[in-house]
Structure 1
Amino acid sequence: MKLELNIQPLESWIQAKSEPLLIAGPCSAETEEQLVATAHLLAQTGKVTALRAGIWKPRTRPGEFEGIGSIGLEWLKRAKEETGLPTAVEVANAKHVEEALKAGVDILWVGARSTVNPFTVQEIADALKGVDVPVMVKNPVNPDLSLWIGALERINGAGITKLVAIHRGFSSHEKSAFRNEPMWDLAINLKTHAPNLPIICDPSHICGNRELLGYVAQKALDLDMQGLMIESHIDPSVAWTDAKQQVTPAVLVEIIDRLTLRKPELQGAAKDVLAELRTQIDKLDDVVFQKMAERMKIVEKIGNYKKENDITILQVNRWDEILNKRVAYAKALNLSPEFAEKLLELIHSESIRKQTEIMNKGQENQPQEKLTHA
């Protein structure tokens, strides 16, 4: 389902100083000197399009530094006057919106902790009605595409047409090299739902450390994201918040200069080669779906047989056998075991659904429980 969003193309309202579009600045505005000095260094790189800084900082636990507050808006104003860089600030309620707009902030963004709460997003949306200001919406903390889409729809519904999504990764119980798991498939799904929606990436919050920033930034550009938001501090070693994921303006330049910018479409002979390869994929996809349909017909026969003979739908030993054999076979074919397991689980889930439907035929008026495999 395509999202009906009334939005303007990114390039129509913000002009990148260089490619890719880069929004940078400290995680938190700490002192006037720190913010203004950082802004000057970022402006001198010639690569930064807008200056970001946290003024109000929603923290996980009380007692941590929760932002310098409204006084930081005056510092941002000075930084803008001296460097010419547009400014960007996170807002988490109507009061923040009003104060930021009054101070002349150019771009607002809705943070991950706000996106997760529709009440908060609606309050922000209501405060934005009648205002022509760019708004960027970060993905929610938890991996929920509907929450992300809902937040974008609420902001757009308030009349905001300069709208951007920010991919900053998702919270996960699994421990990995990332602070927040990228879960690129969710960002890709959002792009599929809203092809005209600009999406930029926040590698700083995905990584949680400066070592992986270049890797994540390159991955984002390879997925055709239109820009980056990276935290930069004049001296990260003494930063009051998220010190490990911030870089100096000089290091930021090194990261950006190492990135490879790839074209979304090719021309001439190269385009013809790509078209031929895609045709081959299309044909193989057709075969895959044909075989899948044949498989499901056999599943239906199995379901009917189980119903006639009072056999349970779920056969754990059979499922374990399929999983072990097919994953091993996939590995022998140089396919990722993780991919094979996810694919098999999806197929198995559909098989269970079909057999449950057959088992329950004629019992529509009786309460049913959804059966899922372990």
Structure 2
Amino acid sequence: MVKLDLEKINLPGLELERPWMIAGPCSAETEEQVFETAQQVKEAGFKIFRAGIWKPRTRPGAFEGVGTIGLPWLKRVKEELGLFVGTEVANAHHVFEAIKHGIDILWVGARTTANPFAVQEIADALKGTEIPVLVKNPVNPDLELWIGALERINQAGIKKLAAIHRGFSTYDKTKYRNHPQWQIPIELRRRIPDLPIICDPSHISGKRELIYEISQEAMDLNFDGLLVEAHRCPEKAWSDASQQVTPEELKAISEKIVLRAPKIGEKPRVTLDELRQQIDTLDTEVLETLKKRMEIAEAIGRYKKENNITILQTRRYDEIMNNRKAKGAKMGLSDEFLTKLFESIHQESVTRQNKIMNS
């Protein structure tokens, strides 16, 4: 269990209730675009407006944000529309400028979270402030790096802290821009139970038609809120056009989301415990089966060593993968799950055989 010194996040005059909703464009492009989108966000019923001022891009030449000149636009939104405003920061200069312009919420982006030096610089710049800070997961699925960034910010005296789950980069092609790998934020919640977790379905999906699906799954996992990219005219957005929706579309999405109770009463508890006990029993059976499988893999390794046969047999591996995925599909198991499962099993078998071969 990780210990953080946390306080409940609230904003002046706004008691945040689940689900929080932070909405606005990926990037601030022009003052007109920012203000018009903010008006639509307010009309849709949302109270926290986001816009990227500095945009770290993968390759040079892409739009990297308007920079500091966009901060007065957010200040105008705050003053004239009464919305709270937030933006991403990547270094100490960004922190100083954002606070100077009255920004209400800051968040640390995925690329920055991956760099402890950059996170420490931001943490040092935040000392003496009480501004709420949200920390996105690092680009790669590294829970310890994510927790480390949260600890650095917390040790700087920031107690109003939350995590943002925005998915993880993967070489494999999936339907997502960044694979959610839900087990990682679930483990974060287990390690730091009092830490709020917000989902960023825009960056997980990469496409607007998946935003509702991902948002609902996040709420089903008892996440605390959503950070969604909303633009007055998404198809004309200067960055990440395919993953943005209009504020009105976001309102429709939010109204469709079903909120389930995070706790259950005493009566269903017996049934739930019984179901969990069944899972425990089945998991034990799975572990015992894997143990037996590895014992056979080791026997094969000894045979290969005695007969001077290479460990990797590509044809056999292909046969196993194709056969198991075909059988699993008939059982309703996804191709992606089966691929990961048997890749892991195969790798462990190879590792054990390699130890035998070289003992």
TM-score greater than 0.5 by the shorter chain: yes
- 8 Å contact 1:20–1:228 — kept in the other structure? yes
Partner of 1:364: none
- 8 Å contact 2:328–2:334 — kept in the other structure? yes
Q: Output one character per residue of 1:218-275: Cα deviation in whole Å (capped at 9) or x when no partner.
A: 1221222211011222333443333333322222211110111112332143332222
Q: Output one character per residue of 1:195-224: Cα deviation in whole Å (capped at 9) or x when no partner.
A: 333211112222333222212211221222
Partner Cα separation in structure 2 for residue 299 and residue 68 of structure 1 = 58
- 8 Å contact 2:24–2:37 — kept in the other structure? yes
- 8 Å contact 2:6–2:160 — kept in the other structure? yes
- 8 Å contact 1:203–1:229 — kept in the other structure? yes
Q: Does 1:22 align with 2:21?
A: yes
**Equivalent AA in structure 2 for residue 196 of structure 1:** D
Partner Cα separation in structure 1 for residue 340 and residue 167 of structure 2 = 21
Structure 1 unpaired stretches of 5+ = 362-374
Size of the alignment, in residue pairs?
359
Q: Output one character per residue of 1:318-374: Cα deviation in whole Å (capped at 9) or x when no partner.
A: 44444344333333433334323322222232233333334444xxxxxxxxxxxxx
Q: Does 1:199 align with 2:197?
A: yes
Q: Report the Cα offset of residue 177 of structure 1.
A: 4.0
Partner of 1:271: 269
Partner of 1:250: 248
Partner of 1:69: 67
Partner Cα separation in structure 2 for residue 347 and residue 174 of structure 1 = 18
- 8 Å contact 1:13–1:162 — kept in the other structure? no
Query: RMSD of the TM alignment (CA)?
Result: 2.9
**Equivalent AA in structure 1 for residue 23 of structure 2:** A
Partner Cα separation in structure 2 for residue 80 and residue 21 of structure 1 = 18
Partner of 1:367: none
Q: Please list, as runs of the form range in 1=range in 2, the aligned pairs for 1:47-86 lying within 5 A after superposition.
A: 48-86=46-84
Partner Cα separation in structure 2 for residue 37 and residue 12 of structure 1 = 23
Q: Report the Cα offset of residue 37 of structure 1.
A: 3.4
Relative to structure 1, the CA distance from residue 356 to residue 260 in structure 2 (aligned partners, 3 Å threshold; closer, same or farther) is same
TM-score with structure 1 length normalisation?
0.83
Partner Cα separation in structure 1 for residue 334 and residue 193 of structure 2 = 29
Q: Of 272, 280, 283, which residue of structure 2 is paired with 1:282?
A: 280
Q: Which has the larger radius of gyration?
A: 1
Partner of 1:129: 127
Q: What SS is found at the alignment partner of 1:24?
A: strand
Relative to structure 1, the CA distance from residue 75 to residue 178 in structure 2 (aligned partners, 3 Å threshold; closer, same or farther) is same
Relative to structure 1, the CA distance from residue 14 to residue 25 in structure 2 (aligned partners, 3 Å threshold; closer, same or farther) is farther
Q: Please list, as runs of the form range in 1=range in 2, the aligned pairs for 1:127-276 lying within 5 A after superposition.
A: 127-276=125-274
Taking only the aligned residue pairs, the percentage that are identical comes to 57
Q: What SS is found at the alignment partner of 2:58?
A: coil
Dislocated runs of 4+, deviation >6 Å: 11-14
Q: Output one character per residue of 1:272-308: Cα deviation in whole Å (capped at 9) or x when no partner.
A: 2222111111111122223333333444455455556
- 8 Å contact 2:10–2:16 — kept in the other structure? no
Partner of 2:324: 326
Q: Does 1:343 align with 2:344?
A: no
- 8 Å contact 1:92–1:120 — kept in the other structure? yes
Q: Does 1:37 align with 2:36?
A: yes
Q: Report the Cα offset of residue 3 of structure 1.
A: 3.3
